[in-house]
Amino acid sequence: MRVYQHGGSLTRQRGAEVEDWSWNSTRRRLGVLWRLTKPYRLRTFFSVFSLLAATATALAPPFLAKYALDDAINDTTGEKLVLVVAIFVAAGLANWGMNYVETYMTGWVGERILADLRKQLFGHLQKLSLGFYERNRAGVLISRMTNDVEAIDQLVTDGVTVLAQSTLTLGGTAVLLFVLDWQLALATLAVIPLMSVGTVLFRVRSARAYAAVRERLGLVTATLAEDIAGMRMVQAFVREQRATENFRAVAGRYRDANMQTVVLNALYFPFVSFLATLALAVVLGYGGHLYFAGAISLGTLFAFMLYVNNFFDPVQQLSQLYNTFLSAAAALDKIIGLLDEPPEVVDRPGARPLGRIEGEVRFEDVHFAYGLRGGELGDEVLHGIDLDVPAGTTVALVGHTGAGKSTIAKLLARFYEPTSGRIAIDGGDLNDVTQESLRHQLGIVPQEGFLFAGTVAENIAFGRPEARPEDIVRAAKTVGAHEFILRLEDGYETQLGERGSRLSLGQRQLVAFARALLADPRILILDEATSSVDIGTERTIERALRTLLADRTSFVIAHRLSTIRDADLIVVLEHGQVIEQGSHDELLARRGLYTSLYGDWAAA
């Protein structure tokens, strides 16, 4: 589906590098596309058939016009003329019908394939492990789902049709011209090489020029976006004039780049139009001679003129396709690459669902190293962690960035598997159970409380979509989020915008708490936020935390002194090892690392 987009196509950069044109990879690409059409073979057949029929019927009118004219000149009864015109109309009607079927069917199959491809991609993304997401930037993955699929979209829906139709039209016209008169056909087609050279030259240059335009328009947009976002600073520092001048310069460079395309278009399109006239002149001049010699009729001459009129569109359209084709092939390669990516953490054969757990957690000599791109292991980040956490304990993980706090949390959620050692819940090895059953009993609260676009209620019920409205409200009330939610314009039905952007940081955290609470996990993993919120919210959050942590095993990557102080067990980590563990008082009494960290503030 080619969609009219204001400037969207201009700002989007699209890489069109395809390194590998070997037969094997080409076959693989085609194979993927072929498999996608598989469920829709009948429709695909209809679409191909109607395409052939539509092209054929479109070629008929000039040919028929020849008979109409010759008939008018030679036969005054006009019976044949009525027949010819009747065929003419019939061909038109058939063309209309076939065009309808072709447009609809090709569009349908194309869009269906794309929808399937998107679904397949998304489904595959759900299966991939966290390690994959940490090695690949989110932007790149998002681009697979959007830009790359769209690049294929252009080829599948529009490109294929144009390719087939233009090629058939060109070939068909040439054949018909030869059928009409081979000598005149040869003379007329002489302009084609000229046209082709001109077109290729134009395409190459204009592709370059448009790339420059896109790049500079991107700069205009970026400058504008930043200046609007920073307008307060521009005004506070009296930079209005300089900013305006700067913007003028950026916009000016964009205009200059665009002028290139204006010049190229101004040269090319009149050139093509002149070639068309030239072809007409050839038809008339040489055709006239052939007519004098009695080799052709006036009707033939007439048909030639009409064909020449329509001859130049397919050449131009074909040349436009080249880029579409390259982009699509490049995009397809990237998508195939993603689909070939195997998930790292998979359920073992015979893995059993984890029954309802108490929440006792043991780490036994756990070592861990992150996998790198290409399957090798990186440096070890955990060196033999031993933890024994009775059910219901609140554990505070303390240590500086990179000490291994969040790695421990991720291993517990089995986002990764230990390289050696073992993690057990209620005595059973984590690797022997299914991931889904484990995570259903696990709640994770990320640092800044990541929320999804959707209503407040949907976000709270994220972990338990079947929750009743009163459960949702109860969870919100328990964490103290109910009040501010009611103040939103649609209460629980308020749309939160992308990533919950409508809410403040503190509010997002509270909603994330409610979400975790509603899921009622046996084990909770919580990454405390570091950025500060205002004092009122701070207090609510503190209270909510206490509720949330009660009666379940909790691992908190802690930043708040109160959280750490209240924890049953404080685990001090450094360089992937447990340095100290114990309660607040025990650790203070030991006068170790914890004391040195805490001591600065104990007196304050």
Partner 1 sequence: MSAVPYRRTFARLLSFLRPYKRGLVISIVLAIGSQAAQIALIWVTGRGVIDQALVDRDTTQLWLYVGAIAGLGLASSVMMLGRRLISGKQALDVEMDMRQGIYSHLVRLSFGFYDRHQTGQLMSRATVDLQGVRFFLGYGLIFFFQNILTVASVTVVLFFFEWRLALVVLAVTPFIVGIAYRYSHVAHPTLRDVQQKLADVATVSEENIVGVHVVKAFAQEPAEEEKFRGRNEALFAQTIRANRQRATYVPLLSFVPLLAQAAVLLVGARMVAHGTLTVGSFVSFNLYLALLVMPLRSLGMWIGQAQRATASGERIFQVLDEPEEIADKPAAGELPPGDGEIRFENVSFSYLQGRPVLEDVDLALDAGTTLALIGHTGSGKTTLASLVPRFYDVDTGRVLVDGVDVRDVTLASLRREIGVIPQDPFLFSTTVRENISFGRAEMTDAEIERVARLAQAHEFVERLPQGYDTVIGERGITLSGGQRQRIAIARALAVDPRILILDDATASVDATTEAQIRAGLREVMSGRTTLIVAHRLSTIALADEIVVVDDGRIAARGTHDELFEKSFVYREIYDHGLLERQFADAVEARGDVEEVA
Helix, strand, or coil here: 362?
strand
- Closest approach, Cβ 291 to partner 1, in A, equals 6
Q: Does 15 bind partner 1 (CB under 8 A)?
A: no
> Binding to partner 1 (CB under 8 A): which residues in 557-586?
559-562, 564
Q: Does 92 bind partner 1 (CB under 8 A)?
A: yes
Closer to partner 1 by Cβ: residue 30 or 561: 561
Q: HSE, CB side, 13 Å, CA atoms: give it for residue 600.
A: 5
Could you tell me which stretch among 183-191, 303-311, 372-380, 480-488 binds partner 1 (CB under 8 A)?
303-311
Q: Does 30 bind partner 1 (CB under 8 A)?
A: no
Closer to partner 1 by Cβ: residue 539 or 591: 539
> Binding to partner 1 (CB under 8 A): which residues in 111-130?
111-112, 115, 118-119, 122-123, 125-127, 130
- Closest approach, Cβ 505 to partner 1, in A, equals 8
Q: HSE, CB side, 13 Å, CA atoms: give it for residue 413.
A: 21
- Closest approach, Cβ 27 to partner 1, in A, equals 28
Binding partner 1 (rule: CB under 8 A), the pick from 34, 45, 182, 450 is: 450
Binding partner 1 (rule: CB under 8 A), the pick from 6, 374, 427, 489 is: 6
From CA 394, how far away is CA 567, in angstroms rounded?
A: 5
> Binding to partner 1 (CB under 8 A): which residues in 500-519?
515, 519
Q: Does 401 bind partner 1 (CB under 8 A)?
A: yes
> Binding to partner 1 (CB under 8 A): which residues in 62-81?
64-65, 68-69, 71-73, 75-76, 78, 81
Buried b (16+ CB within 10 A) or exposed e, 63-72: bbbbbbbbbe
Angle at 319 between CA 187 and CA 25, to 5 degrees: 125
From CA 109, how far away is CA 96, in angstroms rounded?
A: 20
Residues 6+ apart with CB under 8 A from 356: 441, 522
- Closest approach, Cβ 563 to partner 1, in A, equals 9
From CA 591, how far away is CA 585, in angstroms rounded?
A: 10
String of DSSP letters for 333-345 = HHHHHHHTPPPSS
Residue with tokens 């990179």: 402
- Copy the structure tokens of residue 142: 């998002």
Q: HSE, CB side, 13 Å, CA atoms: give it for residue 519.
A: 24
Closer to partner 1 by Cβ: residue 200 or 262: 262
Closest CA to 566 of 519, 528, 604, 512: 528
Residues 6+ apart with CB under 8 A from 55: 164, 165, 168, 169, 172
> Binding to partner 1 (CB under 8 A): which residues in 283-302?
284-285, 288-289, 291-292, 298, 301-302
Residues 6+ apart with CB under 8 A from 125: 141, 145, 338
> Binding to partner 1 (CB under 8 A): which residues in 217-236?
220-222, 224-236
Residue with tokens 């080409």: 26
Angle at 513 between CA 509 and CA 518, to 5 degrees: 150
Q: Does 100 bind partner 1 (CB under 8 A)?
A: yes
Could you tell me which stretch among 241-249, 373-381, 478-486, 545-553 binds partner 1 (CB under 8 A)?
241-249
Could you tell me which stretch among 135-143, 176-184, 189-197, 487-495 binds partner 1 (CB under 8 A)?
135-143
Closest CA to 307 of 171, 443, 437: 171
Residues 6+ apart with CB under 8 A from 493: 455, 456, 457
Closer to partner 1 by Cβ: residue 25 or 147: 147
Cα dist. 16→19, 211, 340, 403 in Å?
10, 11, 21, 42
Q: Does 200 bind partner 1 (CB under 8 A)?
A: no
* Strand duo 553-557 + 523-527: pairing: parallel
Tell me the sheet residues that pair with 157.
Answer: none
Closer to partner 1 by Cβ: residue 106 or 324: 106
Binding partner 1 (rule: CB under 8 A), the pick from 39, 42, 269, 337 is: 269
Q: CB–CB of 434/355 below 8 Å?
A: no
Binding partner 1 (rule: CB under 8 A), the pick from 28, 33, 56, 88 is: 88
Closer to partner 1 by Cβ: residue 18 or 500: 500
Q: Does 270 bind partner 1 (CB under 8 A)?
A: yes
Compose the 403-442 pattern: x for residues touching partner 1 by CB under 8 A, - for all others.
x---------x-x-------------------xx--xx-x
Backbone φ, ψ for residue 61 (5° rounding): -50, -50
* Strand duo 569-574 + 553-557: pairing: unpaired
Could you tell me which stretch among 15-23, 172-180, 185-193, 444-452 binds partner 1 (CB under 8 A)?
444-452
Could you tell me which stretch among 282-290, 317-325, 385-393, 545-553 binds partner 1 (CB under 8 A)?
282-290
Q: Does 197 bind partner 1 (CB under 8 A)?
A: no
Q: HSE, CB side, 13 Å, CA atoms: give it for residue 428.
A: 16
- Closest approach, Cβ 190 to partner 1, in A, equals 14
Could you tell me which stretch among 15-23, 94-102, 369-377, 487-495 binds partner 1 (CB under 8 A)?
94-102
- Closest approach, Cβ 551 to partner 1, in A, equals 19
- Number of residues interacting with partner 1: please give it, by CB under 8 A: 158
Closer to partner 1 by Cβ: residue 25 or 218: 218
Binding partner 1 (rule: CB under 8 A), the pick from 138, 193, 350, 585 is: 138
Q: HSE, CB side, 13 Å, CA atoms: give it for residue 384.
A: 1
Residue with tokens 């008339």: 284
> Binding to partner 1 (CB under 8 A): which residues in 516-545?
519, 525, 528, 530-539
Q: Does 546 bind partner 1 (CB under 8 A)?
A: no
Compose the 460-489 pattern: x for residues touching partner 1 by CB under 8 A, - for all others.
--xx-x------------------------
> Binding to partner 1 (CB under 8 A): which residues in 333-392?
none
Q: Does 190 bind partner 1 (CB under 8 A)?
A: no
Q: Does 142 bind partner 1 (CB under 8 A)?
A: yes
Q: Where are the beta strands (DSSP E) in 254-391?
A: 361-371, 377-389
Alpha-helix residue ranges (DSSP H) falling in 137-239: 138-143, 149-153, 160-180, 182-188, 191-229, 231-236
- Copy the structure tokens of residue 335: 């998508």
Could you tell me which stretch among 3-11, 183-191, 199-207, 482-490 binds partner 1 (CB under 8 A)?
3-11
Q: CB–CB of 496/453 below 8 Å?
A: yes
